[in-house]
Amino acid sequence: MASYIKARLKAGIKPISIERELTHLSVLFKKIPLLDPSLKDLKNPALQYDKDLLKSTDKQKIELHKKREFRLSAEDEEKLMTVLSKHKNPEMKQIVLLALYTAMRRSEILTLTWEQIKDTYIQLYITKSGKPRKVFLTKEAQELLKTIPRTDERVFHYKIQGFEGSFNKLLKDNGLSHIRFHDFRRESISRFVERFGLNSSVFLTEALGIQNVAKFEELHGNRTVKLDDEEDLKRNVGHSSKQLTKLYSNLRTE
């Protein structure tokens, strides 16, 4: 196990990522006796390793917790949309726009089915937080979805890896490599904050206090989902804590 850890570190894998890998390996070894009872006394090597090997350096700790201070400039957005409009596959631009309109993650968008899309919200069942959530659809998002033809149950037809490769190539070929797809999620959340949160009595620094706006309610049926406070905004963007949501919001300082 020590050799495995050293090899992963040498390959440039971050300690926190290796810890996640070890967690998965540990689960695997715990299940082995269920497959073969004769191995019930097998020790779990993923629990027996030198913890000092994965101690992060000060630099790694800073990089892990440092907030990515990035906002999509008007110039970059205009250039990107021009490039996307010329792309042979219209889904590329639709996916980017939906990310900007909803703050959804790439995987959430690429795995969307039409059954998940309601009049005023998108119902997500599998999320990073592990909790189902409803995503508010702005008028822009609703209009965008109306322009997408229904050919089968899937909204988009890119595979996650295929989209990532095509999108990164598009950025590189057009001098936009400083943009990451995840930046659209950050930008969307920041725009929500600027649009609704600046006049909130609970809005201090970058806290996402939002009042007097439609409130997102996790209800079934035809009732409208709305957004009113920080708890609902956290559910909308798929975070379980205010601290995580805060890390995604960047106010413009210009």
Question: Is the Cβ–Cβ distance between 89 and 200 less than 8 Å?
Answer: no
What's residue 163's pLDDT? 94
Q: Of 135-139, 147-151, 167-171, 214-218, which range is least confident?
A: 214-218
Provide the pLDDT confidence category of residue 198 given band limits of 50, 70 and 90.
very low
How do residues 214-223 score in pLDDT, each as one tens digit?
A: 332 232 223 3
d(CA 110, CA 123): 14
Report the pLDDT value the prediction gives residue 219, as an integer from 0 to 100. Answer: 26
Residue 185's pLDDT band (cuts 50, 70, 90): confident
**What is the pLDDT averaged over residues 38-64?**
78
User: What does residue 134 show for φ and ψ, rounded to 5 degrees?
Assistant: -100, 135
Question: Could you tell me the end-to-end alpha-carbon distance of the chain, in angstroms, rounded to an integer?
Answer: 50
pLDDT at 57: 66
Q: Are 85 and 93 in contact (CB under 8 A)?
A: yes
Tell me: the pLDDT tens digits for 54-75?
887 666 666 655 556 778 999 9
Residue range 220-254, pLDDT digits in tens = 223 334 455 566 656 656 666 666 665 555 555 45
| Residue 147, φ and ψ in degrees, nearest 5 | -85, -10
pLDDT of 199 > 80? The answer is: no
Q: What is the structure's pLDDT at 40?
A: 85
User: Does the pTM of the predicted model rise above 0.85?
Assistant: no
- Give the largest CA-CA distance in the chain: 66
| pLDDT reported for residue 187 | 87
Residue with tokens 């601290």: 243
Q: Which residue has the higher pLDDT, 226 or 39?
A: 39
How is residue 53 written in tokens?
A: 């090997």
Amino acid letter at 1?
M
Give kind and range of the element (H or E) at residue 134: strand 133-136
**E-state strands within the chain:** 121-124, 133-136
Q: Higher pLDDT residue, 167 or 137?
A: 167
